[in-house]
Chains A and B, each alone.
Chain A
């Protein structure tokens, strides 16, 4: 399954599963990144180390490690 770090800038997807551990998982959740949420990649740095994700009107910065823990599927 794809994860966020496989996406391109401006690409949208639906969160399918969160394999992040607590407390990161809880943190992502309270920022609106939950199963079923629509997300969009706003930007990533040149080395693709840090990611900027939009979900539910909220932008969240993540590291690649965290981005890999959010599995996504294509939007219908």
Chain B
């Protein structure tokens, strides 16, 4: 009898005496649970469907893989569930899978909840069998039963319970069926005394497992019989992580010798290349058998999914359709995101005006209302764009289209040393680099991910648009400015791909990474899941960008406001008092501001860095604007405005355009555009990169190389134009 098998799901086992015997842990307390399953089986959906659950999102220690913890209180127990990243099998392949595997092996959890997809049961069960080797308390959750029912199929739950020896729960996260039974079953399983699950392999394999386990038991680490059996199986499966664990133990030599012999013997006996294959074949056979016995469903004819795919991944039509979707997403991000932009922007400016009057005058007032609030506002202003982009990307991901896009783009991206999947973050980079870095998480291969993140900055983000608009309107009066803009964006993207190719050949040499990826069936997205995800992303984004931008803004503000120059302020104020003409007053105020700025720390920095930019024909003002743009790209235009004595202008202001045209040489303007296109993105983006990439070498490289490339390209363009006589 299973702890929570039978028809009564919530109670313990039906048989009273049996139940009492099995309850050894009378004390209530915390139950640690690992939720594990292959990708796309519906784990997140199940967690979202749990009632009374508290969700906490963080990172697994040391890595940026998202860690979701769910906490449920029931019948006096605290059930703490960790949602592990999707993992196909114990022979971990991607960094995320490695995280899940390490957790399963190293953390001491009380109950394992294995979620599987009823539609692809036999393939899922292969991994379930590997989990059963651990011989821990386990529950099998078979999700998506609604889809089996839709095909008039039946799942024989009791049969699976009997064959595997673990309680089984049938759920449909979509219809919210059976989900809450999981918690009851966890509690019952936790309290149950016996662990029944045990999978037996072929006689010859079992013999080896036993022999090896006996050797292992000589070490105090493996005294536990179940544990030594698990380790023995993993070793026979040629699991390198486990091999490393025993490598430093005194029994290593004996175990190693025995293993080598066993490998050779078994491989000869089964006529296979590797014991891994032998165990795999065993598991496949058991899993197929289980599926045949437990599920009765007729094979699908052409499913709806396949009909849609006939069109969407058509050899000829597929690519244009995909490009259209991407274009539409890009448009929506800008168009929909722009509506709330003005509202947010005015909320921030009103608030800071209000606070400026309310608070006593002084440094605190200025730093808050001139420095921090406008800068934080500038970032929050883009939140709507970012949410639209995220929603779009989530929709693509949730419906299953994203993997089709990766499939379609793979051939093209391969020529540039990237994977099909990399296209998605690259496209989101046109909106904002910050979420694009996060989107790069979908790239499993660490090399691909680093390359993609290193070239993401070349995709000009939305915040750079005002700078381009300003410069293009100033210098390209004859040409169609829209075309020039398009050229700038496309140019950046092409450059990014070329740099990716160079990085791949120079720094990441070697075989191209294999591309093997599951394409899940199309599914109607769950709005609750979409909402939850957006909410979590919003919170994390606001927290990260808010703290980062606030600090950066404070630094910039102090640099531009100090040292205080009271003499000059008094002199100018006296002059302003004397003149009666409004125009002259304005002029004087602007002169004062630009004098103050020139003498501020920022001004000194500008003078100091001027020599770097001088070969590009850029003066200290452009230099400061470029450097200030490192805090946020919006700052470039506002800084230029101040520096050219225009205080508080925006890019559509005719005056600034004319001033720029008058003061900046055409060659220098082109150099400036190139710099803006290529050099480091804003601080928020850089902070995100640092958070996502833990290796210092890459952080340093990332911080330096775009600026070097930008300078060289700008210099080349400047000199070429000079030769052409501009």
Measured CB to CB, the residues of A under 8 A from B are 22-32, 34-36, 42-47, 49-50, 52, 56-63, 65-66
The reply to whether B93 and A63 form a contact with Cβ atoms under 8 Å apart is no
Please, which residues of chain A bring their CB within 8 A of the CB of B318? 43, 45
Contact A23 B91 (CB under 8 A): yes
CA distance A32 to B512 in the complex (A): 24
Residues of chain B within 8 A of A49, CB atoms compared: 410-411, 414
Residue of A nearest to B303 (CB): A57
* B276 in the interface (beta carbon within 8 A): yes
Chain A residues near B284 (CB-CB < 8 A):
29, 34, 36
**16 A–B contacts, CB within 8 A, in A order:** A22-B276, A28-B516, A29-B280, A29-B284, A30-B38, A30-B89, A43-B318, A45-B407, A50-B407, A50-B410, A52-B309, A61-B519, A63-B414, A63-B516, A65-B512, A66-B515
Contact between A23 and B518 (Cβ–Cβ < 8 Å)?
Answer: no
The CA of A28 and the CA of B521, in the complex, are separated in Å by 18
- Chain B residues with CB below 8 A from A52, complex form: 309, 313, 407, 519
Distance in angstroms between the alpha carbons of A60 and B123 in the assembled complex: 13
- B574 → chain A, closest Cβ, in Å? 74
Residue with the greatest number of chain A CB neighbours at <10 A, chosen from B88, B276, B517? B517
A29-B515 contact in complex given A49-B411, A61-B407, C-beta closer than 8 Å: no
List B residues 204-241 near A (Cβ within 8 Å). none
CB within 8 Å for A61 and B89 given contacts A42-B306, A49-B410, A50-B407: no
Cβ A63 vs Cβ B519 within 8 A: no
> Which 4 interchain pairs have the tightest Cβ spacing?
A49-B411, A32-B123, A30-B88, A59-B519
B514 to A, closest residue via Cβ: A24
Q: Kindly supply a per-residue 1/0 record for chain B positions 422-458, scoring 1 wherever the CB is within 8 Å of any chain A CB and 0 otherwise.
A: 0000000000000000000000000000000000000
Contact between chains at A63 and B514 (CB < 8 Å): yes
A56 and B518 alpha carbons, distance in the complex (Å): 12
Which of B89, B403, B514 is A29 in contact with, Cβ under 8 Å? B89
Residues of A within 8 A of B120 (CB): 32, 56-58
Task: Indicate if the CB atoms of A59 and B91 lie closer than 8 Å.
Answer: no
B42 within 8 A of A: no
Does A62 lie within 8 Å of B88, measured CB to CB? no
Please name all residues of chain A whose beta carbon is closer than 8 Å to the beta carbon of B300 when the two chains form the complex: 57
What CA separation (Å) do A16 and B68 show in the bound complex?
41
For A30, give its contact among B123, B277, B407, B521 (CB under 8 Å). Answer: B123
Establish whether residues B411 and A50, one from each chain, have CB atoms under 8 Å apart when the complex forms. yes
Q: Which residues on A sit within 8 Å (CB–CB) of B119?
A: 57
Which residues of B pack against A, CB within 8 Å? 38, 88-89, 91, 93, 119-120, 122-123, 126-127, 274, 276-277, 280-281, 284, 300, 306, 309, 313-316, 318-319, 403, 406-408, 410-411, 414, 420, 512, 514-521
Residue contact A59 to B518, C-beta cutoff 8 Å: yes
Q: How far is the CA of A65 from the CA of B513 in the complex (A)?
A: 11
**Do most interface residues of chain A lie in helix, strand or loop, or is the interface mixed?**
mixed
**When the two chains form their complex, are residues A66 and B519 in contact, meaning their CB atoms are under 8 A apart?**
no
Q: Contacts of A56 on B, CB cut-off 8 Å?
A: 120, 122-123
Please state if B514 and A66 are interface contacts (CB–CB under 8 Å). yes
B514 touches A46 (CB 8 A): no
B210 CB, nearest partner CB in chain A, Å? 25
In the complex, A24→B719 CA distance in Å? 50
Q: How far is the CA of A69 from the CA of B406 in the complex (A)?
A: 21
A32/B122 in contact, CB under 8 A: yes
CB-based contact B521/A46 at 8 Å = no
- Alpha-carbon distance A12/B559, docked complex (angstroms): 69
Nearest B residue to A34, CB-CB: B284
- Contact assessment for B315 and A46 in the assembled complex, using a CB-CB cutoff below 8 Å: yes
Inter-subunit contact B309/A24 (CB<8 Å): no
Shortest A48–chain B CB gap in Å is 9
Residue in chain A with minimal CB distance to B516: A27
Which residues of B have CB within 8 Å of A42?
306, 309, 313
Residues on the B chain within 8 Å of A60, using CB: 516-519
Q: How far is the CB of A59 from chain B (nearest CB, A)?
A: 4
A59 / chain B contacts, CB cutoff of 8 Å:
518-521
A3 to chain B, nearest CB (A): 15
Give min CB distance, B619 to chain A, whole Å. 50
CB pair B276–A26 under 8 Å, yes or no, is yes
Contact A31 B93 (CB under 8 A): no
- Asked if B517 and A61 sit within 8 Å, CB to CB, the answer is yes
Q: Would A26 and B122 count as touching, CB distance under 8 A?
A: no
Which B residues touch A31, using CB under 8 A? 88, 123, 516, 518
- Rounded to whole angstroms, the CA-CA distance of A34 and B318 in the bound complex is 29
Q: Distance (Å) between the CB of B351 and the closest chain A CB?
A: 50
Residues of B within 8 A of A23 (CB): 91, 93
Contacts of A28 in B (CB 8 A): 516
Most-contacted residue by chain A among B126, B281, B313, B516 (CB, 10 A)? B516
Question: What's the least CB distance linking B23 to chain A, in Å?
Answer: 37
The reply to whether B280 and A45 contact each other, CB–CB distance below 8 Å, is: no
